[in-house]
Amino acid sequence: MNLIDTARKGKTNKLIRCVSRAEGISINNLKADISSGYSVIPKNKNRDIEKPCGIGRNLSTKVNVNIGTSPDSEDIKTELKKLKESVKLGADTVMDLSVGKNVRNTRRIILERCQVPLGTVPIYEAAVKSTDDIRGINERDMMKVLLEQAEDGVDFFTIHAGVTKESVKYIAKKKRVIDIVSRGGAILYKWIMLNNRENPFYRHFDEVLDLARTYDITLSLGDGMRPGAIADATDQAQIAELKILGKLQQRALKKGVQTMIEGPGHVPIDQIEKNVRLEKSICHGSPFYVLGPLVTDVAPGYDHITSAIGGALAGSYGADFLCYVTPSEHLRLPTVEDVREGLIASKIAAHAADISKGRKESISRDMAISRARSKRDWPKQFALSIDPEKPKQYRKSSVPKDVDVCTMCGNYCPIKLSEREKGA
C-alpha cells in the first residue's frame, strides 16, 4: 500500500510516525495533509532511509543539495565526498544530476551511500543513452529509464511534463532574455521542436503515474520554463507551464501519487510573494520546491547569497522546499567546498523562513544562542550554529587577551559594559 492510500485509509506506518515525531505535528494532521496533497514524504518502497523527511504544509522548510557527474568531470569519489558533507551538514534530500557516461552505475553507488531521500531527473539519463543526439531519444527508452530508476530505489523524480507543444509557443511568442535555462526543459523543448511531436512525459502521463504509484515515488513536476533572468520572471511561458502542472497535480492526486511543484528560478524580490501565491493557488496547495529564487543576476560567484535572500523570502511566504545554489552557479561544476557553502547559505534561509512561519523549535534555537552570546558562552554558541566549524575557526584565529570577549571590541564589549551598569 502506498503512502497516500495508507493515509486515506486512516492507517499509520513507520514513515508517518517518524515524520510526525520529528516535526511535532500530530499523526492525524499529517495524514490529512498527505491525503489532500498538501504534504509529501519521498521514499521509494524498494529502499530504506535513515533520515526520511516530510515536505509541505505545517512542516519545516527543507533543503535539497544537487550533486552528480558531468561530461567534463566523472570522478565519482568527489561526488561521494559531496554527498557525505551534505548529509553531515543537514541536507534533507539529495539529487543526483549526473550526465557523465555511466549514469546508472553512478546513481547506484550514490544510492547505496545516501541516508536521505534521493531524487533524479530521468530525462538526463535518456539523453545520455541516446546514440542519435536529442532528436533520436526514443519514447520507450524514456519510460524504460523511469522503470530502471524506480527499481533501483530512487525516491523522487523531476518530470518536465509541463513542457508541451502548447506551452513552448510562448518562448517564440515573447522573446525572453534567456529562452530556457532548465537542462531537462531544454532537452524536451528541443526534442519536441525537432520531432514535431508531443512531450512523451505529458502524452504518457498516466503511464508515469502508474509507475510512480507502484513504487511510491514522489513526482516533482519540473519547471522547464522557469526564468533564467529576473527580466523574464512571471512571464507567459512560466505561467502557462504552471497551469499545466496544476492540472497534472490533480491527476496525480486522484491516482494516489505524491506530487511537488518546482518553481523559479530568477525572480526579483518584489515578485517572490506573487510567485508563491500563484503556485499555491494554481497547484491546489501542493508543496512548492524553488530553485533559490535568485533575486539579481549581477553576482556570479556569490549566487549562494542571492539565492539565500530569495529562499528566505519564498519560504516565509509559504514555499516548502529550497534547492540550494552554490557560489559556482552558472560557472562550473561545484567543488566540495562550493557544495558546503551553498548548503549552509540555503539552510540559513530555511531557518529564517521557519522563524517567520512561527516554528517553535527554530525560535527556541535562536533564543538559546542569543542567551549564550549574552553570557559569552562560546562552546554553546558554536554548538547551536548552523555551521559550528567556521565560528570555531574564526575564534581560534584571533584570540583576545580577555577570553570573555572577542577582538572586535575588547574592553569596550557592549555586553560587558551594560552588565556593569546594571551591577551584574
For residue 139 the three cell numbers come to 519514447
What pLDDT, on the 0 to 100 scale, is given for residue 64?
98
Sign of the dihedral through C-alpha 72, 75, 79, 85: negative
pLDDT tens, position by position, for the chain (424 residues)? 899 999 999 999 999 999 999 999 999 999 999 999 999 999 999 999 999 999 999 999 999 999 999 998 889 999 999 999 999 999 999 999 999 888 999 999 999 999 999 999 999 999 999 877 899 999 999 999 999 999 999 999 999 999 999 999 998 777 899 999 999 999 999 999 999 999 999 999 999 999 999 999 999 999 999 999 999 999 999 999 999 999 999 999 999 999 999 999 999 999 999 999 999 999 999 999 999 999 999 999 999 999 999 999 999 999 999 999 999 999 999 999 999 999 999 999 999 999 999 999 999 999 999 999 999 999 999 999 999 999 999 999 998 888 888 999 988 989 988 886 665 5
Contact 395, 378 (CB under 8 A): yes
Contact 288, 260 (CB under 8 A): yes
Distance between CA atoms of 106 and 377, rounded to whole angstroms? 44
**What kind and span of H or E run contains 269?**
helix 269-282
Contact 321, 62 (CB under 8 A): yes
For residue 21 the three cell numbers come to 515525531
DSSP per residue over 372-407, as a string? HHHTT-HHHHHHHSSSSHHHHHHHHHS--SSTTS-T
What pLDDT, on the 0 to 100 scale, is given for residue 421?
65
What pLDDT, on the 0 to 100 scale, is given for residue 423?
55
What domains sit in the chain, N to C, each tagged with a CATH number?
42-50+58-358 (3.20.20.540), 361-421 (no CATH)
Contact 166, 240 (CB under 8 A): yes
Contact 339, 82 (CB under 8 A): yes
**What kind and span of H or E run contains 77?**
helix 76-88
For residue 301 the three cell numbers come to 560567484
Helix (H, G, I), strand (E, B) or coil at 408: coil
Q: Which residues contact 361 (CB under 8 A, 6 or more apart)?
A: 24, 60, 354
What pLDDT, on the 0 to 100 scale, is given for residue 175?
83
What pLDDT, on the 0 to 100 scale, is given for residue 422?
64
What pLDDT, on the 0 to 100 scale, is given for residue 19?
98
What pLDDT, on the 0 to 100 scale, is given for residue 384?
97
Gyration radius of the chain over CA positions = 22
Q: Which residues contact 19 (CB under 8 A, 6 or more apart)?
A: 25, 30, 41, 52, 53, 54, 59
